[in-house]
Structure 1
Amino acid sequence: MSEERMDVAGLAGELRVALGQLMRRLREQAEGSDLTKSQTSVLLRLERDGAATATALARAEGMRPQSMAKIIYALEEEGLVSGSPDPKDGRKTLLSLTEAAREQFRTGRRAREDWLAKVIEAGLSDEEIRHLAATTELLRRLAQSP
């Protein structure tokens, strides 16, 4: 393996660790969420992709329909998801986010972004902030790679 490749491999490892640490810190900023990872994943999918049936959600999340039913029940009990008849097939129920869920997303995102902005402003020089801005675009490109 060439020295250049070893540097890229090392950089990849360091980047993975640093991004993981940052993501953990950002998650800490979301106050009081008692949701499981699976519940959060379903909410994020509904936010991103829009209304869906429980079957479609189970397939998209790679889980059994029975497991998805438990997640949906818990989210409905929390008032975060509601169902309505599918206009294409009245036998099916389309699940979507409630306004309470949307507000929880907005509030959580604001808290995380406020924390991150304060940390950036307090901990980085103007030059470092410019480097971070340029790096953000590179990270976005990496995230969109196949």
Structure 2
Amino acid sequence: MNATPNDPGPMRTSVLAQDLRALMGKLKRRLRDQAHVGDLTPSQVSVLLRLEKDGPATASSLARAEGMRPQSMAPVLGALEAAGRVSGAPDPADGRQTLFSLTEAFRKSVEEGRAARQDWLTRTLQARLSPQEQDEVARAVELLKRLVDD
């Protein structure tokens, strides 16, 4: 059976998937290098993203959301608190609980990191790609969105 333009064949598709995964990993590393956020564990990053998205939360609710035991969440929050990324305050609904939230300094750092990554990528696109190539990338981005949209 011959491959058609709509069915390039399993080998070609597999190579494309491998190349795309490697390229996205390299792009992610380059973007991360622009932010200078320091070393964070995957659990710490996940908690920070959750607090940014969902707002203040207790250790037990974070543990449930992350699929962890509450005892395992304590060192994650402790490290983030010691680094000045999160702070805890008594829960107004239940004073026995502590609500954790991102510190203002860390929020500012996140915004600055995102701006630095955006600036680097914008400058790199402009410096290395012609307007026509940028149009090609825009079309490719639309196709990539179809891969991840549910």
TM-score (norm 2): 0.84
Greater shift in the superposed pair: 109-118 or 61-70: 61-70
Give per-residue Cα distances to partners, 1:50-86, cap 9 Å, x unaligned. 2211112122223232221011111111221112233
Greater shift in the superposed pair: 30-39 or 11-20: 30-39
Quote the Cα distance in structure 1 between the aligned partners of 2:127 and 2:142: 22
Aligned residues: 145
Residue in 1 that maps onto 2:38: 33
Q: Gapped runs of 5+ residues in structure 1?
A: none
Task: Please say if 1:54 is aligned against 2:59.
Answer: yes
- Report the CA distance shift for 1:86/1:17 in structure 2 as closer, same or farther (over 3 A): same
Residue in 1 that maps onto 2:91: 86
Q: Gapped runs of 5+ residues in structure 2?
A: none
Identity of aligned residues (%): 56
Shift of 1:2: 7.3
Q: Secondary structure at the match of 2:57?
A: coil
Residue in 2 that maps onto 1:114: 119
Superposition pairs of residues 1-146 of structure 1, within 5 angstroms: 3=3, 4=7, 5-6=9-10, 7-31=12-36, 33-145=38-150
- Report the CA distance shift for 1:91/1:15 in structure 2 as closer, same or farther (over 3 A): same
Quote the Cα distance in structure 2 between the aligned partners of 1:85 and 1:32: 28
TM-score (norm 1): 0.86
Question: Is the 2:37–2:113 contact (alpha carbons within 8 Å) kept by the matching residues of 1?
Answer: no
Determine which structure has more spread, i.e. the larger CA radius of gyration. 2
Shift of 1:122: 1.0
Quote the Cα distance in structure 1 between the aligned partners of 2:128 and 2:119: 14
